[in-house]
Amino acid sequence: MAATFVTENELRTTLGIGNLYSSSVVEEVCQSAQNIVSDYLWKNQAFNSAHSHIVGYGTLYFDTPHDFFVGQTLTISGNGATFNGSKTVTSLDTYSITFVTSHSTVEPKHPTSPFGTVAATDYVTYSTVPEVRESSLMIAVDIWQARQSSNAGGISPDFQPSPYRMGNTLLARVRGLLANNLSPNGLVG
C-alpha cells in the first residue's frame, strides 16, 4: 500500500466520529485530500502533450524541456495501454523521449488529451513531511464537514460568508503550510 498523507484513523480521531461511518467513506475523504495536496507538490515529473510510435518504439513529446536522461526508468501514465507503465529511455532530445514498446504498427505524432504524466524517482517522501500531512488533514476535515453540512460555508477572500467550502479558497487556507514544497511549475500565471 502506498504511503498516505492522512490516515483513516487520524481523520476519525480528529473528527471524533469513532466508528460511526464505514471505512470506505472515511478513506475516500482521506484519499481526496491527498490527491488535492499532491497535485500541488514539487515532483520529479513532466507532462507530455503528444505521442507517436513506430514498430517496437514509442515517443512522447513535451511542450517544455524535460530533465530525463537515457537509461532512466520512468513511470508513464495517461498515454494508453502500450505506453503506460515502467519504461526505460533509449533516446531523447530536448522536447521528447523514446523507449521500447509493444507496438506493431506505425502511428504519427498526435495529441494526448488530457496530458500524460511521465514520472521519475522522487527524492522526497511527502508522507513524512509534517506540513504536508497537516495540510492534508485540514483539507480532509473541510471535505468531511462540507459533506455533512454543505451549507456550513467558509469565508471568501473579501471576508464575506460563502455557502460553499470547497471553492477556490480550499487550498489557499493551507498554502502557507505547503509553501516550501509547492511546485514552481504551478506558480506560473
For 51-75, how does the pLDDT look when each residue is reduced to its tens digit (9 = 90+)? Answer: 999 999 999 999 999 999 999 999 9
**Do 112 and 79 contact (CB within 8 A), yes or no?**
yes
CATH architecture of 45-119: Beta Barrel (2.40)
Among 4-8, 120-124, 126-130, 146-150, the minimum mean pLDDT is found in 146-150
Q: Is the dihedral of CA 163, 35, 8, 133 positive or negative?
A: negative
Q: Cell numbers for 112, please give them.
A: 494526448
pTM: 0.77
Q: Is the dihedral of CA 169, 129, 32, 113 positive or negative?
A: positive
**Greatest C-alpha distance within the chain:** 59
Nearest to 73 by CA among 53, 60, 89: 89
Q: Is the dihedral of CA 24, 25, 30, 31 positive or negative?
A: positive
Cα separations (Å) of 37 from 26, 159, 171, 184?
A: 17, 24, 8, 14
The CATH 2.40.30.20 portion of the chain extends over 45-119
- pLDDT band per the 50, 70, 90 thresholds, residue 183: confident
